Amino acid sequence: MKKVVVCGCFDLLHPGHLFFFKEAKKHGDWLTVLVARDAHSVREHGLVFDELTRKQMVSELKIVDEAVLGDSEDKIEGVLKLKPDVIVLGYDQKFDVVALEKAIKEKGLMTKVVRLDKAFHPDEYKSRIIKQKLKELV
């Protein structure tokens, strides 16, 4: 069984996230979604939902085989603990790929890193844009 891991905040689930999960699943048989911890996400994104709620929402999606919380200290370590065959990054994810690939080698893993180059209507379905639209409605 080929294990795929994606990671992110997934605060306000939208069609762009569903597209991301669907594209990631094409790279394997089992999709694990690692949900970022509140401590990382508040700093970078601001949050509507806490980490347990975000994990629960993601885990309810049919395409997702497993949802887990990330490591509270080290983003990369949280991903590598899962020993994935493939790590799929979104087209716009700010992830240090060089550090990730170095850590993969150091752990003796054969994990492949794939960055998706397409998105589903990124001018419309992007969490930052959706949060801005919500602010304008209030």
For the stretch 61-83, pLDDT in tens is: 999 999 999 998 888 888 999 99
Locate the DSSP E strands across the chain: 3-8, 30-35, 66-69, 86-89, 112-115
Does the pLDDT at position 58 exceed 60? yes
The phi, psi pair for 22, rounded to 5°, reads: -65, -45
d(CA 65, CA 28): 11
Model confidence band, residue 47 (pLDDT cutoffs 50, 70, 90): confident
pLDDT, residue 91, reads 84
d(CA 25, CA 34): 14
Other Cβ atoms closer than 10 A to 51 = 22
Query: What domains can be seen in the chain, in order of their start residue?
Result: 3-137 (3.40.50.620)
d(CA 76, CA 79): 5
pLDDT, residue 30, reads 98
Percent of the chain with pLDDT over 90: 57
Locate the DSSP E strands across 59-107: 66-69, 86-89
pLDDT, residue 39, reads 82
DSSP 1: -
What's the whole-number mean pLDDT along residues 16-30? Answer: 96
Does the pLDDT at position 92 exceed 90? no
Tell how strand 86-89 and strand 66-69 pair up.
unpaired
d(CA 16, CA 121): 7
32 touches 67 (CB < 8 A): yes
